[in-house]
Structure 1
Amino acid sequence: MRVLCRDAEWLVHRVDKLDHTGGSQIAHCTGADEMVRGHQAAFVTDLDQVVQIDPKETRLTRDTSHGFHKGKLFLGAQLRQMT
């Protein structure tokens, strides 16, 4: 799942419940956008505003660059990060 927290996008890997605090949870995440990419973080839901990103609200944009240059660069960067 992807979430927004502290003005950055994060990938959630695991969520743990804090037993001693009622409904509080810890979201263990890895940074997904440019500023925090690759950084590990843990957010306590009672302290940080963690907002789930709904994939249905994703907006596609047209690549108007010559030969789809920007799209190819983006896909190439994503593939390099996966390996």
Structure 2
Amino acid sequence: MGGFIITIIIALIAGWLGNSITGKQMSGDIWGVCVVALPGAWIGAYMPYFNTFGPKLMDIALIPAFLCALVAAVIFKVVRRVAKQAS
């Protein structure tokens, strides 16, 4: 249970940072980015050979989880912006 809470915290931080990096922030957009960052954090935390570096907290590799969540958040924001411009 503690590992899941750590993953949620990582996803929230990465979602907030991903929202800040891509610019043009909307008030409700942060929650959508955090929901997308959660699977990214989960994948990064448990991906074989990728979760071997960095510190671990409750068996969660912090650096890979944060990096994957951040990448997922940024990709989501970019895809959403491109889709909005195309329509």
- Structure 1 or 2: more strand by fraction: 1
| Highest RCO, 1 vs 2 (Cα 8 Å, sep ≥ 6) | 2
- Using structure 1 for the length normalisation, give the TM-score: 0.21
Larger Rg: 1
Name the structure where helix makes up a greater proportion of residues.
Answer: 2
